[in-house]
Structure 1
């Protein structure tokens, strides 16, 4: 996950990571943003987009959630986006972050916004499916197992299946092709995500 130089001074993975950690103490929330980063960055490479810009967007999409969890204009993601705007972040980043929250009313027009939304809830489902495994190793999680977890409404109740389906539809990708793509991306970053299993 090396940083790559970009023209905009506000855009660097390390800077985004530092900001995310400064605003977020929860390890599980940090891990979520890293998981979304893995998936979004893989799509950036797939589509030939600016990987650094996409990584920054993913890393910061929930950075204000811990401090301002309420879904309102005085909460997430509005507070975080206002802060990022003051820091000079590009509108493409800000619109994508606003768009990942349905209640914001901001349409997901850009490919980045659609990818962020499509990966957000899905990475949560994948992470939950890994953590209930005895080996806690994402490398051993198969798509068929993920399908079963998806259909089991009692599993990971906080993950909106409707959002997962809508995300794939908006992106124009078949649901399980999308899930397989995101799973592979997270498997490639297993160690960074802390999902490489128990190595003791």
Structure 2
């Protein structure tokens, strides 16, 4: 059985393959949401957080082999199969044929794109913060297909359906999880605003 990776090991691995600040912040945002959702469901917060942290491990250096290279890198580092499968499954239908099955995999699949929409929505607000962001504000931006056009809303909808939750509930969970890491992801806003 493979040893369970520590958060420190996961972060070092992330930094080894990713130098772009926006990718690091995205990884931290997804980790924050995964940890929040794990706690909410009474699941293993550490495992869910670590999977969220490394889900885009290969994206910067191997964008054309996304998910495939993550699998190879994690296997090379002797990561547990459960972690590897979860990382690969977040790209289901895009760069992977592994359908999300476990609750952890479904949550990752559902919130990955959504963190981008939430972050972009927060950045156009006067506060530039997730701390005062509401699901209603995100839903308003959701309807404008030109806003954060790179965010595939159909993936978010499919993820919510897999989880048996409303998109608005998923948005609330994503905002709440991102609030816990607001400073690290640059969405705490400016003092006095």
Aligned residues: 190
SS in 2 for 1:39: helix
TM norm structure 2: 0.93
TM norm structure 1: 0.90
Shift of 1:87: 1.3
Name the CA distance, whole Å, in 2 between partners of 1:40 and 1:93.
13
Shift of 1:8: 5.9
Q: Which runs of 5+ in 2 are unaligned?
A: none
Aligned to 1:109: 101
Aligned to 1:192: 184
Q: Please say which of residues 153-162 and 77-86 is displaced more in the overlay.
A: 77-86
Is 1:23 aligned to 2:13, yes or no?
no
CA RMSD across the alignment: 1.5
| 1:140-159 matched pairs, under 5 angstroms | 140-159=132-151
Identify which of structures 1 and 2 has the higher relative contact order when contacts are C-alpha pairs closer than 8 Å and 6+ apart: 2
| 2:36–2:177 CA contact under 8 A, matched in 1 | yes
Aligned to 1:49: 43
Q: Which runs of 5+ in 1 are unaligned?
A: 1-6
For residues 35-77 of structure 1, the C-alpha deviation after alignment (integer angstroms, 9 at most, x for no partner) is 111111111111221111111111111011000001xxxx111
Aligned to 1:128: 120
Deviating beyond 6 angstroms after TM superposition, the runs of 4 or more aligned structure 1 residues are: none
Shift of 1:188: 2.4
| 1:71-110 matched pairs, under 5 angstroms | 75-101=65-91, 102-103=93-94, 104-110=96-102
For residues 99-143 of structure 1, the C-alpha deviation after alignment (integer angstroms, 9 at most, x for no partner) is 111231111111111011011001110000011122211112122
Name the CA distance, whole Å, in 2 between partners of 1:99 and 1:185.
21
SS in 1 for 2:121: helix
| 1:139–1:190 CA contact under 8 A, matched in 2 | yes
